[in-house]
Amino acid sequence: MSRQVTQPRFNMDWMLRDLASSVPETRHVVLLSSDGLCMAQVGTDKDTADRLAAACAGLQSLSGAIAAEFPEGDGRMRLVVIEVDGGFFYLMAAGTSSYLAVLAEDSVDAGLMGQCMRDLVARLGEHLSSPPRVDGRVT
């Protein structure tokens, strides 16, 4: 039986809480599908999470175009880090067709953040996947 895309399979926010609490200075953690659907969030409201997810979908698409310029690679984006005044933005490939996005203050331990994100993806990658959709429905 199919469900509407806007209805999550289950609440995945709990998977992100450990990351948010393990790395001081973490502001927002969002799990999104490759097409920009917010699947889970911690430390933010729904509107902010949806905006971040939509922006991340565009960023991961651009990153894929850059990755394709490396002929010996597989053409996929693994990690993007952007430093701006006031903080850092991280976008990491998570499960199948999903990405983990984090906004953190400028005093964050960048190495710790990267390691904790990699650990989360390694431990829970299959649960962080976005299910295939056909005609706006989860299959």
Residues 23-57: tens digit of each pLDDT? 999 999 999 888 888 888 999 999 999 999 989 98
Whether 5 shows a pLDDT value over 90: the answer reads no
Residue 90 belongs to some domain of the structure: yes
Residue 25 contacts residue 105 (beta carbons within 8 Å): yes
Residue 134 belongs to some domain of the structure: no
CATH number at residue 94: 3.30.450.30
Residue 132 belongs to some domain of the structure: no
3-state DSSP of 10-29? CCCHHHHHHHHHHCCCEEEE
DSSP 8-state symbol, 130:
P
Per-residue pLDDT tens over the stretch 75-124:
788 899 999 999 999 999 988 888 999 999 999 999 999 999 999 888 87
Query: Which range, 30-34, 72-76, 128-132, has the best average confidence (pLDDT)?
Result: 30-34
Residue 40 contacts residue 32 (beta carbons within 8 Å): no
Mean pLDDT confidence for 5-19: 66
Range of the domain at 27: 8-127
Per the listing, tokens 């299910």 go with 131
Q: How many domains does the chain have?
A: 1
pTM, rounded to two decimals: 0.81
CA gyration radius for the chain? Answer: 15
Whether 126 shows a pLDDT value over 80: the answer reads no
Whether 8 shows a pLDDT value over 50: the answer reads no
Residue 137 belongs to some domain of the structure: no
Residue 34 contacts residue 59 (beta carbons within 8 Å): no
Beginning with the edge strand found earlier in the chain, give each strand of the sheet holding 87-93 in spatial order: 38-42, 26-33, 98-105, 87-93, 79-84
Residue 105 contacts residue 87 (beta carbons within 8 Å): yes
Residue 1 belongs to some domain of the structure: no
25: left (phi over 0), alpha (psi -120 to 50) or beta: left
